[in-house]
Amino acid sequence: MIVRPRPRMRELFFIWKGSIIPLILPQVLFVTVVAAVVTSTAEFLGPRFPDFATGPFTFLGLSLSLFLGFRNNACYDRWWEARKHYGNLLVVMRCLARDSQLLVPAGDNTGDDRRENLLRLATAFILALTARLRDRPIAAAAAPQLSAGEHETVAASHNPADTILRLMTAQLCDARQAGRLDSVTYCALAEHINQLTAIQGACERIRHTALPFAYTLLLHRTAHIFCFLLPFGVVHSLGYATPLLTALVAYTFFGLDALGDELEEPFGTAQNDLPLDAITRTIEIDLASYRGITPLPEPIRPDNFVLM
Domain ranges of the chain: 9-76+214-264, 77-210+273-291
Distances (CA, A) of 49 to 6, 41, 161, 232: 46, 8, 64, 9
Burial 253-280 (b: 16+ CB within 10 A, else e): bbbbbbbbbbbbbbbbebbbbbbbebbb
Other beta carbons within 10 angstroms of residue 180's beta carbon come to 19
Query: Taking a C-beta distance cutoff of 8 angstroms, is the pair 308, 278 a contact?
Result: yes
The 3-class secondary structure across 115-175, one letter per residue, is HHHHHHHHHHHHHHHHHHHCCCCHHHHHHHHCCHHHHHHHHHCCCHHHHHHHHHHHHHHHH
Query: Taking a C-beta distance cutoff of 8 angstroms, is the pair 40, 32 a contact?
Result: no
pLDDT for the residue 180: 79
In whole angstroms, what is the distance from residue 270 CA to residue 281 CA?
A: 19
pLDDT for the residue 107: 55
pLDDT for the residue 261: 87
pLDDT for the residue 106: 56
Query: Taking a C-beta distance cutoff of 8 angstroms, is the pair 126, 93 a contact?
Result: yes
In whole angstroms, what is the distance from residue 186 CA to residue 169 CA?
A: 10
DSSP notation for 186-233: HHHHHHHHHHHHHHHHHHHHHHH-PSPHHHHHHHHHHHHHHHHHHHHH
Query: Taking a C-beta distance cutoff of 8 angstroms, is the pair 164, 125 a contact?
Result: yes
Q: Which of 296, 289, 89, 63 is nearest to 193 (CA)?
A: 89
Q: How do the pLDDT tens digits run along the chain, 308 residues long?
A: 777 777 676 666 667 776 788 888 889 999 999 999 988 888 887 777 777 777 777 778 888 888 888 888 989 999 999 999 999 999 999 999 998 888 776 555 555 788 889 999 999 999 999 999 999 999 999 999 999 999 999 999 999 999 999 999 998 888 888 777 788 888 989 999 999 999 999 999 999 988 888 888 888 888 888 888 888 888 888 888 889 999 999 998 898 888 888 888 999 888 888 899 999 999 999 999 988 888 988 988 888 777 88
Query: pTM of the entire structure?
Result: 0.87
User: For the chain, how far is it from start to end, CA to CA, in angstroms?
Assistant: 6
The secondary element (H helix, E strand) that includes residue 55 is helix 55-99
pLDDT for the residue 112: 72
Bridge partners (DSSP) listed for residue 306: 2, 303
In whole angstroms, what is the distance from residue 273 CA to residue 214 CA?
A: 23
Backbone angles phi, psi at 306, to 5 degrees: -115, 120
Backbone angles phi, psi at 237, to 5 degrees: -85, -30
pLDDT for the residue 88: 95
